[in-house]
Amino acid sequence: MKRVFSGVQPTGDIHIGNYLGAMRQFVKLQDDHECFFCVVDLHALTVPQDPKVLKEKTIELAALYLAIGLDPKKVTIFVQSHVPAHAELAWLLQCITYFGELSRMTQFKEKSKGKESVSVGLFTYPDLMAADILLYNTHYVPVGEDQKQHLELTRNIAQRFNNRFGETFVVPEPMILKFGARIMSLTDPTKKMSKSDEDPYNRINLLDDPSLIRKKIMKAVTDSESEIRLDWDKKPGVSNLLTLYSLFTEMNVEEVENKFKGQGYGTLKKELADVIIEKLAVIQQNYKELSRDYVLSVLKEGAQKAEAVAENTLKEVKEKMGL
Ligand code: ADP
Ligand code: NA
pLDDT tens profile 211-243: 999 999 999 999 999 999 999 999 999 999 999
Distance CA 81, CA 222 (A): 42
Instruction: Return the pLDDT at 16.
Output: 98
> pLDDT at position 316, please?
98
CATH assignment at residue 257: 1.10.240.10
137 and 204 fall within a common domain: no
Residue 155, in any domain of the structure: yes
pLDDT (tens digit, 9 = 90+) per residue, 164-194?
999 999 999 999 999 999 999 999 999 999 9
Q: Is 78 exposed, middle or buried (0-12, 13-18, 19+ CB in 10 A)?
A: buried
Would you say residue 169 lies in a domain?
A: yes
Given a cut of 90, is residue 281 above it in pLDDT? yes
User: In this structure, how many other beta carbons lie within 10 angstroms of the beta carbon of residue 104?
Assistant: 12
Judge if 56 and 163 occupy the same domain: yes
Rounded average pLDDT over 120-136: 98
Distance of alpha carbon 20 from the chain centroid: 9
Question: Could you give the percent of the chain with pLDDT greater than 90?
Answer: 99
Determine the distance from the C-alpha atom of residue 121 to the mean position of all C-alpha atoms in its chain, rounded to a whole number.
19
The range of the structural domain enclosing residue 282 comes to 200-287
From the CA of 142, give the closest atom in ligand 1: 14
Q: How confident is the model at residue 196 (pLDDT cuts 50, 70, 90)?
A: confident
Mean pLDDT value across residues 59-87: 98
**239 and 129 housed in the same domain:** no
Ranges assigned E (strand) in the chain: 3-8, 34-39, 75-79, 140-142, 173-175
CA quadruple 129, 133, 134, 140: dihedral positive or negative?
negative
User: Of 140, 91, 85, whose CA–CA distance to 307 is shortest?
Assistant: 85
CA atoms within 13 A on the CB side of 321: 15
Q: Beta-carbon neighbour count of residue 166 at 10 Å?
A: 9
* 143 Cβ closer than 6 Å to some ligand 1 atom: yes
- If asked whether residues 91 and 209 sit together in one domain, one would say no
Residues 227 and 212 in one domain: yes
Neighbours of ion ligand 2 (CB under 5 A): 146
186 within a domain of the structure (yes/no): no
Claim to verify: residue 283 and residue 300 sit in the same structural domain = no
Residue 193 lies inside a defined structural domain of this protein: no
Q: Are residues 68 and 145 in the same domain?
A: yes
Q: Which residues are annotated as a binding site for ATP?
A: 9-11, 17-18, 144-146, 183, 192-196
Q: What percent of the chain has pLDDT over 70?
A: 100
Query: Is the separation of the CB atoms in 183 and 248 below 8 Å?
Result: no
- Residue-wise pLDDT tens digits, 286-298: 999 999 999 999 9
9 lines ligand 1 (CB under 6 A): yes
Number of domains in the chain: 2
Question: What pLDDT, in 10s, does the model give residues 242-266?
Answer: 999 999 999 999 999 999 999 999 9
